[in-house]
Chains A and B, each alone.
Chain A
Amino acid sequence: MSYISMGEAHRRITDYLNRFSDSIFSQDALSLKQLISISSNSSSLLSLADGLNVFQDANRLVKQSDRFSQFGEIAVPLLRCLQNYRINRLAEAYNSFEKSANAFLQEFRNWESAWAMEALYAIAYEIRVLAEMADRELASLGKTPEKLKAAGSFLMKMFGALAGKGPKRIGALNVTCQLFKVYFKLGTVNLCRSVIRSIETAKIFDFEEFPVRDKVTYMYYTGRLEVYNENFLAADQKLEYALVYCNPRSEGNIRMILKYLIPVKLSLGIIPKSWLLEKHNLGEYHDIVLALKRGDLRLLRRALQEHEDQFLRSGVYLVLEKLELQVYQRLVKKIHIIQKQKDPSKAHQVKLDVIVKALRWLEMDMDVDEVECIMAILIYKNLMKGYFAHKSKVVVLSKQDPFPKLNGKPVNS
């Protein structure tokens, strides 16, 4: 922190307060946004913080002028937040910001038009980010991290202020997305349900009217929830939407969408082209795709093991593991085709022993009963058409389309 005179400190603070009130009087949301973005570490905010550190009594300055005191409830805690933030007192910074945010929300409710929306978005973002920092600080001190949860409560309040018939409703999706980020971070994803229900069923909202950036973010998170619930058709629809409408230059976001979309597509019998995996650095799926194409159960197993940590962390491990059934289908299909090439007349009968042999080659030691069970499951789930002649231990395949393709539909559950 640089040394500045009392006079200079005073100047910086009144300058800020002037810009603050100016932006409100002239309904300039973008200027206001700059002034409240504490975590942006902008040079003007940092130099203001230095001023606050020297001229400790900003409160008095605010009260002295009618112009400033009007927004004192917002400005005073905001300045206190900045001061705390600058000296790395993050839990305190959060507390002050929350106070300011509440006061801002009060004012916002009174403003008829939606002029301040961009500034509101900044508040929603800042409260989350400051809460995350505060929680890290609390955790490092051995205390309970509770600020992010509090930020979530505030964001719900903010959502309530936007869930009306007027022009402000356009901001609801943005706040929803901040809530998603909070809940995903806290691991309380079940809490997403209520806000999703509001967005999707309330008559006041027309999804198409929301800004595209919010729609993309929304579809990404709701798509992920569908993946976790194994609703693959819904997951496909949502994640595809996010992918198609995402800013093509947002490489990080595109990669994240694909990370969840690829397991979904695989579950629907659709595979990504290699260039897609390479372009977006998703090599962890390479062998899984190859295993499915080949019918190579051993490779699937190895691929799952090799990237187990990654898949478990993102929560797609179970989805990928379940591909095993489709890989079985592919293997048996190949055995059938190979047999057909040797002797077309008998090919529709596949001896269980032959399948056991193939599995053994793939380092999967299973006995005949287990393999019979797997064949039964394949038939039950309509991945194989035919029947099992138990006595002779032979799978008798239907002559027509014995291995129905998924064609974009999930395996029958």
Chain B
Amino acid sequence: KNRFHRFLLNNYCDFNQRSILSEMAAAAAAAETETKVATEDPKVDLFEDDDEFEEFELDEEWDDKEDGKEVTQQWEDDWDDDDVNDDFSLQLRKELESNTGAAKS
């Protein structure tokens, strides 16, 4: 039941409720009690930033990505196809056909 309520919260809750969720998430993450109290903004406040960007050397120069091709090949947007021949889909089909005759009607 917890799971379903959480699902509802994710999809219906407003700004304020989401900030509460953010705070809960932050509290869960930091075993130490070093998380700061969240401000009005619904962001996770971490005492450390694991993902601090590395400084670029001041004399570092680099070319712009010459092949914009590489960028577009990093992502797929046509994955949501109608193919149901993968293992998962075949197992799903088997499951739906099992036991009841409901699939027939």
CB pair B77 A407 closer than 8 Å: yes
Complex Cα–Cα for A243 and B84 (A): 34
CB pair B96 A357 closer than 8 Å: yes
Instruction: Please give, as numbers and ranges, the residues of chain B lying within 8 Å of A407 by CB-CB distance.
Output: 77
Residue A312 contacts which of B29, B55, B96 (CB distance < 8 angstroms)?
B29
CB pair B45 A318 closer than 8 Å: no
- Name 12 A/B residue pairs within 8 A (Cβ), A-sorted: A213-B58, A269-B77, A271-B77, A272-B74, A273-B75, A273-B76, A313-B46, A321-B10, A351-B102, A358-B95, A364-B3, A373-B4
Q: Is A256 an interface residue (CB 8 A)?
A: yes
Interface of B, helix, strand, loop or mixed by DSSP: loop
Residue B54 contacts which of A252, A269, A271, A295 (CB distance < 8 angstroms)?
A252
| Contact A377:B41 (CB < 8 A) given known A125-B55, A187-B47, A272-B75 | no
Instruction: Please give, as numbers and ranges, the residues of chain A lying within 8 Å of B10 by CB-CB distance.
Output: 318, 321-322, 324-325
CB pair B4 A294 closer than 8 Å: no
Complex Cα–Cα for A104 and B41 (A): 36
- Give min CB distance, A218 to chain B, whole Å: 10
CB pair B88 A296 closer than 8 Å: yes
Count the A-B residue pairs with Cβ separation under 8 angstroms: how many? 178
- The residues in B between 71 and 105 inclusive whose CB is less than 8 angstroms from any CB of A are 71, 73-77, 79-80, 82, 84, 86, 88-89, 92-93, 95-96, 100, 102-105
| Contact A187:B46 (CB < 8 A) given known A125-B55, A253-B53 | yes
Complex Cα–Cα for A3 and B84 (A): 77
CB pair A337 B76 closer than 8 Å: no
Instruction: Please give, as numbers and ranges, the residues of chain A lying within 8 Å of B103 by CB-CB distance.
Output: 339, 342, 354
Q: Is B33 an interface residue (CB 8 A)?
A: no
Q: Is A393 an interface residue (CB 8 A)?
A: no
Given contacts A181-B53, A256-B51, 19 further A-B contacts (CB under 8 A): A118-B58, A187-B35, A189-B41, A213-B56, A217-B56, A228-B42, A229-B42, A249-B62, A271-B77, A272-B76, A276-B74, A294-B88, A315-B43, A330-B80, A337-B84, A358-B95, A366-B4, A381-B11, A408-B77
Instruction: Please give, as numbers and ranges, the residues of chain B lying within 8 Å of A408 by CB-CB distance.
Output: 77
Q: Is A67 an interface residue (CB 8 A)?
A: no
CB pair A190 B11 closer than 8 Å: no
Complex Cα–Cα for A372 and B46 (A): 38
Interface size on B, residues (CB 8 A): 63
CB pair A256 B53 closer than 8 Å: yes
- Give min CB distance, B23 to chain A, whole Å: 11
CB pair B86 A294 closer than 8 Å: yes
Question: Interface code B44-75, partner A: CB below 8 Å = 1, 0 otherwise?
Answer: 11111111111110101010110010010111
- Give min CB distance, A316 to chain B, whole Å: 9
Complex Cα–Cα for A407 and B45 (A): 32
CB pair A271 B71 closer than 8 Å: no
CB pair A337 B60 closer than 8 Å: no
Residue A315 contacts which of B46, B77, B102 (CB distance < 8 angstroms)?
B46
Interface size on A, residues (CB 8 A): 86
Leading 8 A-B pairs by shortest Cβ distance: A312-B29, A187-B45, A213-B56, A315-B44, A228-B43, A247-B62, A184-B49, A294-B88
- The residues in A between 351 and 379 inclusive whose CB is less than 8 angstroms from any CB of B are 351, 353-354, 357-358, 361, 364, 366, 370, 373-374, 377
CB pair B75 A270 closer than 8 Å: yes
Complex Cα–Cα for A317 and B18 (A): 12
CB pair A361 B95 closer than 8 Å: yes
Question: Interface code A311-345, partner B: CB below 8 Å = 1, 0 otherwise?
Answer: 01111011001101100001001110111011100
Q: Is A387 an interface residue (CB 8 A)?
A: no
- The residues in B between 1 and 55 inclusive whose CB is less than 8 angstroms from any CB of A are 3-4, 6-8, 10-12, 18, 21-22, 25-26, 28-29, 35-36, 39-55
Instruction: Please give, as numbers and ranges, the residues of chain A lying within 8 Å of B53 by CB-CB distance.
Output: 177, 181, 217, 220-221, 253, 256
Candidate in B39, B48, B56, B71 with the most chain A CB atoms within 10 angstroms = B56
CB pair A271 B75 closer than 8 Å: yes
Instruction: Please give, as numbers and ranges, the residues of chain B lying within 8 Å of A346 by CB-CB distance.
Output: 105
Complex Cα–Cα for A313 and B104 (A): 48
- Give min CB distance, A263 to chain B, whole Å: 13
Instruction: Please give, as numbers and ranges, the residues of chain B lying within 8 Å of A64 by CB-CB distance.
Output: none
Q: Is A348 an interface residue (CB 8 A)?
A: no
